[in-house]
């Protein structure tokens, strides 16, 4: 029996959840999970290391590495194949302090929420 997935903490929901070509391509949509989005936001957007990202999300670094790799593949597919991308679902919990957080590196809530 596989081990249950650990819930991943995210600081905030994405402001936009749908992206794609301006011309209707009719291509199949790519689905990125909220936790995949969070790894892109932290590592590429805020210059976190994978270790820092793992600590912020409350998971192992190897988990972050796998989630991040999946997210980057999906971004590449979207750009190369001109397919629409939606951000939805996944195994996550939104930080209870997200409303007061500016979602920036070094904010007062950085590392505030540790999932059990």
Q: What is the pLDDT of residue 115?
A: 36
3 falls within a domain: no
Q: Per the structure block, which two tokens stand in for 92?
A: 């996550």
Domain assignment present for 81: yes
Whether residue 20 is contained in a domain is answered as yes
Please choose, from the candidates 17, 6, 110, 11, the residue with its C-alpha nearest in 3D space to the C-alpha of residue 64. 6
Q: Per the domain annotation, does 111 fall within a domain?
A: no
What domain range includes position 71? 8-100
Q: What are phi and psi of 86, to 5 degrees?
A: -120, 150
Structural element, H or E, at residue 58 = none
**Within-domain flag for 93:** yes
CATH code, domain carrying 40? 1.10.10
Would residue 114 count as lying in a domain?
no
**Domain assignment present for 116:** no
Q: Going residue by residue through the chain (116 aa), what tens digit of pLDDT does each one get?
A: 676 667 788 887 788 888 887 666 677 899 999 999 999 999 999 999 999 999 989 899 999 999 999 999 999 999 998 899 999 998 888 877 666 555 555 554 455 544 33
Predicted TM-score (pTM) of the model is 0.79
Give the pLDDT confidence score for residue 103 in this predicted structure. Answer: 54
Nearest to 30 by CA among 22, 19, 39: 19
Angle between helices 61-81 and 50-57 (to 10 degrees): 110
34: in domain: yes
Please give the tally of structural domains in the chain: 1
Strand segments, DSSP code E, in the chain are: 8-10, 18-19, 30-32, 85-87, 92-94
């Amino acid at each position: 029996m596989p081990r249950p997935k650990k819930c991943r903490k995210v600081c905030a929901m994405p402001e936009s959840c749908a992206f794609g070509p301006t011309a209707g391509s009719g291509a199949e949509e790519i689905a990125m999970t909220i936790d995949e989005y969070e790894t892109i936001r932290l590592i590429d957007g805020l210059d976190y290391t994978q270790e820092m990202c793992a600590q912020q999300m409350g998971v192992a670094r190897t988990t972050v590495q796998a989630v991040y790799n999946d997210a980057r593949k999906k971004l590449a597919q979207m750009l190369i194949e001109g397919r629409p991308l939606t951000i939805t679902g996944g195994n996550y919990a939104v930080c209870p302090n997200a409303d007061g957080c500016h979602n920036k590196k070094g904010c007062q809530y950085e590392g505030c929420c540790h999932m059990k």
